Structure 1
Amino acid sequence: MKYATIVSTETLADHLQDPDWCVIDSRFDLAHPGWGGAEYQKAHIPGAIFADLDRDLASPITPASGRHPLPLPDRWQSTVSQWGITPATQVVAYDSAGGSLAAVRVWWLLRAYGHSRVAVLDGGYPKWLSEHRPLETVLPPARPIIPFSGQLNPRFWVSVEDLIHLYRDSKVRLIDARAGERFRGEIEAIDPVAGHIPGALNRPYTQNLNPDQTFKSPAQLREDFGKLLGDIRPQNIIAYCGSGVTAGHNLLALEIAGLSGGKLYPGSWSEWIRDPERPIETGA
C-alpha cells in the first residue's frame, strides 16, 4: 500500500524491518538549531536517518532569500541518493512538532521532485514515545547509495517574481500558516518586519491538528478549508509562512482533505520583506 499523506504509528511499527521503508527524523527547533541532531543522538525511531533542516532540507541564506531557501537541486539529489530510496520506497518523516518542523519539508520536497511515496508520521515522535514503542540510540547502518535524479516540478511552487503578479488575482488565495498575532503584525519575534502579504488569509498550522498533535479527519479539514476558501479552486491556493517550512503543513492538510494542487511559496514572509518596495498589510 502507498502512503502519500500521513501514516499511523501502528503502521510504521509494523514496517520497521521492511527494507522498502525509509524513516527520516527531521526534528528541529528554530531557537536552537542543533537541538534536533542532539536529540537524534540520544534516541530515535529504529532505523531512522537524521535530516537537518538547515543543512539537508535548505540551502544557505542569501541577501535576497528567505530564512530557509529550498536546497539546491544537485545537493538535494545527493542527499536523497544517500537515503538509498527507489521508486518503490515508502518514506516516512517525523518530528516533534506535529509535522511542522520539519517533516512537512521532507514530504513536500520529495513530492515536488517526483517521489510520491512519502508520508508524515501522524502524531510524530511524541505519540511514538507515549505509546512506549521501540527506540534506538545507535546510528543505523548506511543504506546503499542509489542515484536520485528527480527534478523539481514547477507545478508545486511559485517564486517571488510569480507572486508579485498573482497576489492580487481574485481567483488566487494565499494562506499564511503563522500564528494569528504574527499574521496581524501584533508581534514579530523572528523576522524584522511584521504583518502579512496583502490579501492573504490566516490558517495557523496548529488548526490542522487535534490536541494530541494528530491531524484532524479528512471531513473536518474539508469543512474547515471550505469555510476559509469558499469556492476557490485548490489549484489556486498558495501556501506560505515565515520561511517556507510550516506552510507545507497546510498543503499536507489540504491533501488529506482531498483538496489537491496547492502550491508553496518557499521564500515566504522572510523573503517577501527583503524588498521594501513589496507591499505589506497588518491587522486581520
Structure 2
Amino acid sequence: MTITTDRSGQASPETLSARDPRSAALGAALAGPLVSTQWLCDHLGSDGLVVVDATVVAATGPDGRVGYVSGAEQYRAGHLPGAVFADLLDPFSDPAARFPFTRPGAEGFANAVAALGVDSETTIVIYDAAVGQWASRLWWLFRSFGHHRVAVLDGGVTKWSGEDRPLESGDVVPRPVGDVTVTELPGFWSDRDDVAAVLSGDRAGTLVCGTPPRDFAARHLPGSVSAPAVRLMDRATNAFLPRAELREIFADVLASPDPIVAYCGGGIAAAADALALALLGRDDVTVYDGSLNEWTSDPEAPLARL
C-alpha cells in the first residue's frame, strides 16, 4: 500500500476510500498535531490506534561527553498501556549515515513502521519520556513520509504518570501488518545547500535554532533566531506552553513572511520547534536534517557567537 498526501497533510482520495471507518473516525478526532492525555485515555485500545514510545536517553561516556542510547530499557521498565517502542537510533535513523540521527530512506522507514504494526490505515500517537523532542522528531518523520494521521501526546509520560494514569512494563508485541510502501514528500527537509542559499541571500528564509541558550550563545548559524526547544514546555508537566506564550517565543519568526528553516545540533530539537510552529499555523517549515553536526564539519562554514 502507498501512503500519499500533499504538503498540507491531506490524504489522497484513494487513501481515504481505503480506510477502515473506525480508523477514519480516530483520524478525524486528531484536531491537530497534539492530543491530550485525556484524549488518549479515552481512545486507548481502539481499533486502528497504535501508541508509540520514542524515548532516547542521554548518556555520559567515559570521556565525559554526552551521547545518546536507546530508550528501550526505560520503555520496558514502564510505558503507556499497549505502547510499542520505536528506536530512533536505528531503524528510525540511518546508522550508516555520516551524522547521527540522519533520517532513513523510504524503504528503511517503511520496514521500520511495519515492524511497529503500523500501516496506512493506522492512527498513531507518539510520546517520549523527555520534553517531547524525540516524539516530535518521529512525528515529523511520519508526516514527511506521507502519514498524516499522527500526533504527539502532549506532556508525554511525564504528564501521563503525573496524573496517576497506569503504566505497564515489559515488551508489547506489535500486530502483524503486510508490506507498507511510503512516499517521501517534498517540503519537509532542508539540506546544507538550502541553508547556504539562505545565508547568502539567494533564497528567502528565517533560520530558527532549537538548541539550549548556552549552546546557541557558543555557536549558531548567522542571523538565526533562538527558540530553545526546552523552553517550549511547561517545566512541571512537559506539556507545550499555551499558544499565546509560544507566540511570544516565536515573535520574531512569525513577524516574517519568509519560509522557516529549523535546526539544532542534530535535527531533533528542531522538530519540536517545527511542531510548535505548526500549532501556531505555520506550514512553511522545513527541518535541516544534518543541522550543526553537518554544518560544523566544514571548518570554513560560517558561524556566529554571542
**Same-fold status (TM-score > 0.5):** yes
Equivalent residue, structure 2, for 1:198: 222
Compute the RMSD of aligned alpha carbons.
1.8
Alpha-carbon contact 2:207-2:261 (below 8 Å) kept:
yes
| In structure 1, C-alpha distance between the alignment counterparts of 2:42 and 2:178, rounded to whole Å | 25
Q: Secondary structure at the match of 1:263?
A: strand
Q: Does 1:31 align with 2:59?
A: yes
Q: Which runs of 5+ in 1 are unaligned?
A: 186-194
Q: Offset at 1:166?
A: 1.9
Q: Secondary structure at the match of 1:30?
A: strand
Q: Secondary structure at the match of 1:216?
A: coil
Q: Offset at 1:230?
A: 5.0
Equivalent residue, structure 2, for 1:131: 163
Match of 2:185 among 153, 163, 166: 153
Amino acid at match of 2:57: D
Match of 1:224 among 220, 243, 249: 249
Q: Offset at 1:134?
A: 1.5
Q: Offset at 1:261?
A: 1.9
Alpha-carbon contact 2:58-2:69 (below 8 Å) kept:
no
Q: Provide closer, same or farther for how the CA distance between residues 24 and 3 of structure 1 changes in structure 2, counting only shifts above 3 A.
A: farther
Amino acid at match of 1:224: I
Alpha-carbon contact 2:120-2:180 (below 8 Å) kept:
no
Equivalent residue, structure 2, for 1:19: 47
Larger strand percent = 2
Alpha-carbon contact 1:197-1:279 (below 8 Å) kept:
yes
| In structure 2, C-alpha distance between the alignment counterparts of 1:259 and 1:135, rounded to whole Å | 34
Equivalent residue, structure 2, for 1:267: 290
Match of 2:93 among 58, 63, 72: 58
| In structure 2, C-alpha distance between the alignment counterparts of 1:149 and 1:35, rounded to whole Å | 26
Equivalent residue, structure 1, for 2:34: 6
Amino acid at match of 2:165: R
Q: Offset at 1:141?
A: 3.1
Q: Secondary structure at the match of 2:190?
A: coil
Amino acid at match of 1:82: A
Q: Does 1:107 align with 2:139?
A: yes
| In structure 2, C-alpha distance between the alignment counterparts of 1:230 and 1:137, rounded to whole Å | 42
Q: Offset at 1:115?
A: 0.5
Q: Secondary structure at the match of 1:13?
A: helix
When the two structures are aligned, how many residues end up with a matched partner? 269
Alpha-carbon contact 1:4-1:117 (below 8 Å) kept:
no
Q: Offset at 1:88?
A: 3.5
| In structure 1, C-alpha distance between the alignment counterparts of 2:173 and 2:290, rounded to whole Å | 35
Sequence identity percentage: 34
Question: Equivalent residues in 2 for 1:35-54 (5 A)?
Answer: 36-54=71-89
| In structure 1, C-alpha distance between the alignment counterparts of 2:107 and 2:119, rounded to whole Å | 17
Q: Secondary structure at the match of 1:80?
A: helix
User: If the length of structure 1 is used for normalisation, what is the TM-score?
Assistant: 0.89
Q: Secondary structure at the match of 1:244?
A: coil
Amino acid at match of 1:162: D
